[in-house]
Amino acid sequence: MKVTVIGTGYVGLVAGACFAETGNDVICADIDEEKIESLSRGEIPIYEPGLETLVANNMASARLRFTTDITDAVRASEIIFIAVGTPPDEDGSADLQHVLSVAKSIGQAMQREKIVCTKSTVPVGTAQKVRETIEEETDIKVHVASNPEFLKEGAAVNDFMKPDRVVLGVDSAFAERHLSEVYLPFVRTGNAIHTMDIAAAEITKYAANAMLAARISFMNAIAQLCEATGADVDMVRRGLGSDKRIGSAFLFPGVGYGGSCFPKDVKALIRIMREHGADAGILEAVEEVNEQHKRFLLNRVYERFGKDLSGRRFAVWGLAFKPNTDDMREAPSRVTIPALLDRGATIAVHDPVAMEEAGRHFGDRVDYHRNNYDALNGADALLIHTEWLPYRRPDFVRMKEALAEPVVLDGRNLYRPETMRELGFEYHSVGRRAVTPKGK
């Protein structure tokens, strides 16, 4: 099938490469000439495991190409996916200007019947606006649909190729038939294609992200209770997650969620609910708890070292909002580090892949280290923001020798408190008792 994906950001690029991998002829289109030139050379602008190889292989097989010619891309394809950004406005609502601009271009380019499918995360009612925008430009029949993505950064290729489910919001048998055909190679193991009305599909995406964000904030609220009472949040988490009605996913306490989806989508859903007269109180609480927990490590630093940090040096492991990505959007490190710098501290940082991105945020205000142990030299404490695999089983003897003081403030609960105590560390984590070295 001939497919066009308009927008070569995170969602569009992954979708285009994966559609091509299953034998479709795919055009990825974007108005950003520099980005298209880079992609045409095989240069991938984001870090996503497996994506570079997927793009290269499908370009070499002539199933995937990149262009800035939106008109040609629309006319060459049967199905057009809109995958442009929907950044939040100042009031938290999703900005649809890019989506509707693409819709207008599609309408102007159409010469025959098309399926136009929104893949961007958009508020309920957006597909209707897309339809109206296209129909203002053409009398040719258009089938508008919604196909929200459910990709995890760091595992997006695998999520697309082996989805838990595919959600299709359609209002015609024609669109349902053709979109189901495109997705059949991805659900051969039996995972479902859920066909529903368009409004339900649009809401499903926001509801899914809000539910996962709520689980994170709920567990962080429980962690606060555990700290106040002396309970161990890991034991609570295991007890809670063993309930089949609840499950264990997204119940790990930490320094809050970040990234391109959860913060934006929770804000947008709050706005949507208010506009429709629905009570958004539960999501407002989710957002409030998350903002509190982004300051978790910062507050622990203040409690341990005071608020005048002149002459203090801190090491930071992990800058991205999660492992296996270089994405620092809404990352907790972007809360902690500027605040410490403003209090007079010096900062040494390490992240396996987000160093270049960190440079755009922090400039020369921090010291960058390619080796995570080098960042520890002379530091008064280590602060852990991201649960990268190399941090999970480090050389503790080397850590202790490098640190000026053996203090670890762990925002991801990577280590066992009793083990850290025996190794001679002062160790603070989320929802568990702080420990000090034996004999102190």
For the annotated catalytic residues, the residue numbers are 261
| H helical segments located in 348-437 | 355-362, 389-392, 396-402, 417-422
Amino acid at 396: F
The upper half-sphere exposure of residue 406, i.e. CA atoms within 13 Å in the direction of its Cβ, equals: 18
Question: To 10 degrees, the CA torsion angle through 30, 130, 76, 21?
Answer: 70
For the chain, give the number of residues: 440
Residue 19: what are its φ and ψ, rounded to 5°?
-60, -40
Q: Are 123 and 89 a contacting pair, CB within 8 Å?
A: no
Q: Does residue 424 come out as left (phi exceeding 0), alpha (psi in the -120 to 50 range) or beta?
A: left
C-alpha 155/C-alpha 49 separation (Å) is 7
> What token pair was written down for 343?
């209090």
Q: Report d(CA 30, CA 213) in Å as an integer.
A: 31
Query: According to DSSP H, which parts of 1-96 are helical?
Result: 10-21, 33-40, 51-60, 70-76
Q: Measure Cα distances from 64 to 14, 30, 39, 42, 163 in Å.
A: 12, 14, 11, 11, 21
Question: For tokens 């602060």, what's the residue?
Answer: 383
- List strand residue ranges (DSSP E) for 306-411, in order: 313-317, 346-350, 367-368, 381-384, 407-410
121 vs 170: CA distance, rounded Å:
16
d(CA 440, CA 349): 29
Joined together, the tokens standing for residue 67 give 């262009």
Query: 190: exposed, middle or buried (C-beta count within 10 Å: 0-12, 13-18, 19+)?
Result: exposed
